[in-house]
Amino acid sequence: MKKKASFGIAAVIVVTLLVIVLWPPPDPLARVDTVAIRPPQWERTDPSVRGPFMDGLTVTLNERNVRIVADASAADAVLVVEEVRVDSIEVRLDSGQLRARLSATCVLTELKTGTRHQMDFRLELRDGTVRATLTARRFWEFWKRG
C-alpha cells in the first residue's frame, strides 16, 4: 500500500513539473496593435534621431500584424530594449556570405494596464534570410534574469 501511495505522489509531482515546464509562456502582444520601440539609452539619443525611429514599420508576430509607431502616446505598448548582445558575426569574402546572430533583453509595458513583461529578442541573418523572434519569459526561467 505504501508503494502505491508513494508512486501516486511521485506521479503527481512529475506531471506538475511537466505542466510547469511545457506550458507555453503568456503572449504579451495579444492585446497590442501598435508598439513604440525604445532602444538602449533612449533618453541620451539625439532628438532628431528619436522622432522617425522605425515609424510605420509593420511586422508579423504570431500571425498578427503589429505596427511600430514613433510616438509612445499613440501606442498600445512600449518595448524597451535593455541589453543587446552580439552572439556571432561571420563574413566570408570568397562566397559573399554574411551570417550573424544577436540577442536582446526587452521589457514590454502595456500602457492601458501598466503590466510589464520580460521578453527575449533573437535575430539571425543567414544566407540573405532574416529570422527574428520575440518571446516572453516564463516565470521559472530564473537564470535569464539580470
Q: Please give the angle made by the CA atoms of 39, 80 and 128, to the nearest 5 degrees.
A: 60
pLDDT of amino acid 65: 75
Looking at the DSSP bridge assignments, the partners of residue 132 are 123
Domain spans of the chain? 25-144
Segments of the chain assigned E as strands: 34-38, 58-61, 64-68, 77-92, 97-110, 116-126, 129-136
Q: Model-level pTM? A: 0.64
Q: What is the pLDDT of residues 100-127, one digit of tens each?
A: 888 888 888 889 888 888 888 888 888 7
Residues 6+ apart with CB under 8 A from 146: 82, 83, 105
Distances (CA, A) of 15 to 8, 12, 91: 11, 5, 46
Q: Predicted confidence band at 70 (pLDDT cuts at 50, 70, 90)?
A: confident
